[in-house]
Amino acid sequence: MISVRAVSAVAGLLLVAAIARPAEPKWVSRSNENAKLLLDADARYDPETASQQGEERYDEAILDLSRDRYAQQQADLRSVVAEYRRRLAAESDLHVKQDLQILIDAARQEIQTQALDRKYLLDYTDVAATIFNIAQVTEEFVPALQGN
């Protein structure tokens, strides 16, 4: 028969294990901070998606279809790549350096994809899908705002 003391001890250990997560290594925190630069650059041009992903500072922002965003977005991505290269040159941690290189490659691929899309595809925004996605996000947040 299992004693109450043994059950309490196991429950206590499980509780401590659940609460005392291992600390995140410093390099992971630094890499996460580096990734925010590219995420923020993307969020400026797709705030609804950023909001859906939990970036609350974009909750009030909306997609701006009134102007051609291509040149500005390309410039922003190029400045992100330049900043990542600067950080890479100054970085000593191999893990962070590897992540910076991955971020540089991702941003460069995004620049190239946008250039190819611009060259070979018609400029098209699925307005109905955008409105539907905004309605879904709004539906998620309205009950919380009303206190339900």
39-57 per-position pLDDT tens digit = 999 999 888 888 778 888 8
Could you tell me the CA-to-CA distances from 56 to 78, 101, 126, 133 in Å, in that order?
25, 28, 24, 16
Please tell me the predicted confidence (pLDDT) of residue 3.
52
Please tell me the predicted confidence (pLDDT) of residue 53.
81
pLDDT tens-digit map of 85-121: 999 999 999 999 999 999 999 999 999 999 999 999 9
Per the prediction, the chain carries an average pLDDT of: 83
More confident residue, 62 or 116: 116
pLDDT tens-digit map of 64-90: 877 888 999 999 999 999 999 999 999
- Measured distance CA(71)–CA(49) in Å, rounded: 21
* pLDDT-based confidence at residue 23 (cuts at 50, 70, 90): confident
Domain ranges of the chain: 25-146
What's the predicted TM-score (pTM) here? 0.72
Q: CA angle, 77 as apex, 129 and 110 as ends, to 5°? A: 55
Please tell me the predicted confidence (pLDDT) of residue 118.
93
- Measured distance CA(81)–CA(91) in Å, rounded: 15
Averaged over 9-30, what is the pLDDT?
Answer: 69
